[in-house]
Amino acid sequence: MLKNLVVYASETGNTKKLAEVIFDALPSSTGKDIVDVRTWNGKLDAENYFVGFWANRGSCSLEIIDILSSLRKKNIALFGTCGMGNTNTYYHKLEQNAKVWIPDDNRYLGAYFCQGKMQPSIRDKYESYRGKCDDNKIDLMLSFFDDALSHPDNQDLLKAHLFVDECMKKIS
């Protein structure tokens, strides 16, 4: 069995970037691997899981839920990217929405989230709501979109690295 396994879901590459930094930050001497959830076949196993996802309507995908709820007696950390506001309150909400799927006999290590750029079609969609929805709400969504454009940036990736260090300290 591996010591550390990173499993992630990423449609457009933001969460993949975090996953790769997290994988690199993990000690290599004890055995580690990284898997895109699309190629997950359940055959790999590890003591410590770093499970990553992108926010999809405030939650994670079914594949990620399946993995989280299948884990027993593991150390588990969550990470992910989202397009909306860069606030601890929002990140906490995303964390709670995923954490509920982790069975109680695991040890939960914590979560790390940052913003991730969204596709231009999403900006177009927000713009298309002009005249149909509250302008203030549309402006807020557009500001989230524009704020997210540069993320994940180097600072986000550095924080992901530090998150791994914190998790490793908790485990040892």
Ligand X SMILES: Cc1cc2nc3c(=O)[nH]c(=O)nc-3n(C[C@H](O)[C@H](O)[C@H](O)COP(=O)(O)O)c2cc1C
> Applying CB under 6 A, which residues contact ligand X?
10-16, 54-58, 81-84, 116, 118
Least distance to ligand X from the beta carbon of 49, Å?
Answer: 18
Q: In the complex with ligand X, which residue's Cβ is closer, 34 or 83?
A: 83
Q: Answer yes or no: are the C-beta atoms of 62 and 88 closer than 8 Å.
A: no
Residue, CB closest to ligand X: 116
Q: How far is the CB of 28 from ligand X (least distance, A)?
A: 24
Looking at beta carbons only, is 56 or 88 nearer to ligand X? 56
What minimum distance in Å lies between the beta carbon of 48 and ligand X?
21
CB nearer ligand X, residue 56 or residue 96: 56
CA distance 65 to 96: 13
Q: Cα 72–78–107 angle (5° rounding)? A: 35
DSSP string computed for 25-46? HS-STT-EEEEEGGG--S---E
Task: Give the span between the Cα atoms of 83 and 138, in whole angstroms.
Answer: 14
Report in angstroms how near the CB of residue 82 gets to ligand X at its nearest. Answer: 3
**CB nearer to ligand X: pick between 25 and 84:** 84
**Beta-bridge partner residues of 112:** 79
Residue closer to ligand X by CB (options 45, 66) is 66
Q: How far is the CB of 128 from ligand X (least distance, A)?
A: 15
Cα–Cα distance between 38 and 7 in angstroms, integer? 10
Q: How far is residue 71's CA from residue 7's CA, in Å, rounded to a whole number?
A: 12
Separation between Cα atoms, residue 35 and residue 56, nearest integer Å:
20
